[in-house]
Amino acid sequence: MRATLRMSFFLLSFSMVGCVAAQNAPTSRDDAGGESPVGTTTVTAKATPTTDSDAIALPGFWTGATTAYCNLNPIEIDTRCNSINLISLSLAQEKGGVRGIYRCTIGNQECRAQNDTGKVANASMHGRRLQMRIALPDLSSCIFQGKAVSPATIKGAYFCYQGGGLMEQGHFEIWRRF
């Protein structure tokens, strides 16, 4: 029995050494000093550059909803688990970037800390990726990060902070209103 266990351990150790060696092996002609190693396949992934046609115009009026994730900290009482709030954003292009007004209304619960208004401190689209910070009246702020799934829909996650601590996180979806 012990001999079988030792042999299994030896074979497992040997196979792991082979995996590490394979990970460190050169994978392209340049890495190998001009020669391609035998049995190696070179795979090159190229990032597709975003073009202006991929960019989404952010200024305008957007409506949507947020859903808070449940708190996994067993010490705290979670009163916002699966809280849904309806939100609207009125965004305009200004000298320093996109800014605007944020509004929150009751979905199945009141807005977090009764922050029903806020200011969009900064918002930008990088290709199809959204980055937005909302400053709220209680001096907390929420960061929204998402991706445009169509020219009129953005989905993603949000994180609300106060005093350096994470107060709430969840996901959101907003739709452009024409």
Residue 92 has pLDDT above 50, yes or no: yes
User: Which of 172, 147, 178 is closest to 54 using CA atoms?
Assistant: 147
| Better-scored residue on pLDDT, 104 or 23 | 104
What mean pLDDT, rounded, does the chain reach? 77
Q: How many helices (H) and strands (E) does the chain have?
A: 1, 8
pLDDT of residue 164: 87
Per DSSP, the residues of 158-176 read: EEEEETTEEEEEEEEEEEE
Which helix (H) or strand (E) segment holds residue 150: the answer is strand 141-150
**Cα–Cα distance measured from residue 112 to residue 164, given in angstroms and rounded to the nearest whole number:** 17
Q: Write the CB contacts of 139 (distance below 8 Å, at least 6 apart in sequence).
A: 162
What is the percent of the chain where pLDDT is above 70?
Answer: 67
Residue 34 has pLDDT above 80, yes or no: no
Residue 49 has pLDDT above 50, yes or no: no
Tracing tokens 């996650």 back to the chain, one arrives at 157
Beta carbons of 120 and 100 less than 8 angstroms apart: yes
Query: Residue 91: which pLDDT band, with cuts at 50, 70 and 90?
Result: very high
pLDDT of residue 54: 64
Dig out the tokens for 4 from the structure: 């079988």
**Cα–Cα distance measured from residue 26 to residue 73, given in angstroms and rounded to the nearest whole number:** 45
Domains of the chain: 1-45 (no CATH), 60-177 (2.40.128)
* Mean pLDDT, residues 101-124: 96
pLDDT of residue 11: 39
Residue 88 has pLDDT above 50, yes or no: yes
